[in-house]
Amino acid sequence: MLLCLMARSSNPERAQRLNAAFDLLARGYTLADAAAALTQEFGLSRRQAYRYLQEAQGIDAPVPVASSTIPITIKIPEAVVVKLRAYAQASGLTMGEIVARAVLIFLEKVGRHG
């Protein structure tokens, strides 16, 4: 027996597809025409296209598209990691989100002064 496994879409891909479905419906496409357009543009099955359309009918505006993340390895002093973990737990953010925000702020400041 041959199994065909389809890769699940990432969150950014999912958001892009949902926004495309929302846009098609907002522009007055029929469900059938919108499903055909999604199938062609994203290589979705007809059934999956209809799922995106059904979800798009339940939202009031396009959803934000998060950028993809990649893992990196860095070395940080232990005392900083302890504070980072404590802040992450208290804030509900991930350590990656906190570090990414801090790095962006740093790079913006350096860019203005360098």
> Is residue 2 predicted with pLDDT exceeding 50?
no
Residue 8 has a pLDDT of 52
pTM of the model: 0.57
**What are the residue boundaries of the structural domains of the chain, listed by start?**
11-57, 78-113
Alpha-carbon distance values, 77 to 3, 33, 63, 82, 83 (Å): 48, 56, 37, 9, 10
* Length of the chain counted residue by residue: 114
Q: Read off the pLDDT of residues 6-17 as tens digits, 9 standing for 90 and up.
A: 445 568 889 999
pLDDT of 72 reads 92
Alpha carbons 108 and 106: distance in angstroms, whole number: 5
Q: Token digits for 30?
A: 């029929």
**Section 68-92 average pLDDT:** 93
Cα 100 to chain centroid distance, Å, stands at 16
2 against 17, higher pLDDT:
17
Whole-number pLDDT of residue 85: 96
H helix or E strand, kind and range, residue 97: helix 95-113
